Amino acid sequence: MKAARFDYHCAGSVAEACQALASHEDARLIAGGQTLVPMMAMRLARPALLVDIARLSELRTIEAHGGELVTGACVRQAQAERDPLVRAHAPLLARALPFVGHAPTRNRGTLGGSIANADPAAEIPLVLVTLSGSVDVRQGDVSAQVAASDLFEGPMMTLLAPTACITAVRFPVWEQQRIGTGFVEVSARQSDYAYVCAAAQVALDADGTVLRCALGIGGATAVPTRLSDVAQALTGRSVTLELARAALAPAIAALDIMVDAHASRDYRRRVALRFAEQALMAACADATAQAAGARS
């Protein structure tokens, strides 16, 4: 099929893009188009006006300042995957990006586009929630910062108004030296959306005690979920598999797990528990290995 007829506007600035969105009842932003274009081709989305922001240089920067890694909303996923600032300051994002789609789609797909799409199985929103990140949003002449924990409301749903534009994505930078990450997911085919995914980032002291911990689950729930209670329970302790299971089991049991044609609720719950364990232990092993490498 082909997309229904639509008008096209290439914005010269964020302000112009916001004006174009506000000027039409059925306008949509497009940057990478890796989700929107197939939906239009299948007539699942029929915007009357596309507002293109892909060429805006102000939305394609990557900077580290003020304790955050700040990326423009239109930074390509492939660019972020290769960027040394991302690897140094947001290692969990760097770990997760190779799982996002395929290499050709990462060449076009953007960080902000994945977040705005709000697929519960998407890796980038999961990393953002796990790390307690945020997004900068502009609507008309008004700009605001929205916490990731408040942004997602359900599958493919955010609190953003149709006339709002994500302009930047903010990932907190951990200052500790011994930081490790883990990311695990399962899907029907490699690079498809995950049925379940788990992300973990930990900072360890010289004795292997957890100084800081972040853990999240995606795909299994309607929105990416940060397991804050588990992170708090593990902080100040040396993590073993038994300790991880004891902390994770009640947290996973309490989650409202999704069920659909792809996977049952019981399957997703069992896999979420196992993957959370694996991601957490992989993060601890990663941090330990980095410390060993530094000593040698």
Q: Going residue by residue through the chain (296 aa), what tens digit of pLDDT does each one get?
A: 688 898 899 999 999 999 999 988 899 999 988 888 888 889 888 988 999 999 999 999 999 999 999 999 999 999 999 999 999 999 999 999 999 998 999 999 999 999 999 999 999 999 999 999 999 999 999 999 999 999 999 999 999 998 999 999 999 999 988 999 999 999 887 767 889 999 999 999 999 999 999 999 999 999 999 999 999 999 999 999 999 999 999 999 999 999 988 899 999 999 999 999 999 999 999 999 976 655 55
Neighbours of 188 (CB within 10 A): 10
The first and second tokens of residue 52, run together, are: 């293109």
CA 110 to chain centre: 11
Domain with CATH 3.30.390.50 in the chain: 179-295
Nearest to 115 by CA among 94, 137, 99, 98: 137
**230 exposure class (CB count in 10 Å sphere: 0-12, 13-18, 19+):** buried
Q: Are 20 and 8 in contact (CB under 8 A)?
A: no
The CATH topology of domain 7-52 is: 3.30.43
What pTM did the predictor assign? Answer: 0.94
| Confidence (pLDDT) at 3 | 85
Element (H, E) at 54: none
Task: Give me the CATH topology for the region 179-295.
Answer: Enolase-like; domain 1 (3.30.390)
Question: DSSP letters along 108-169, please?
Answer: T-BHHHHHHHT-TT-HHHHHHHHTT-EEEEEETTEEEEEEHHHHEEETTEES--TTEEEEEE
CATH no. for 58-172:
3.30.465.10
Length of the chain: 296
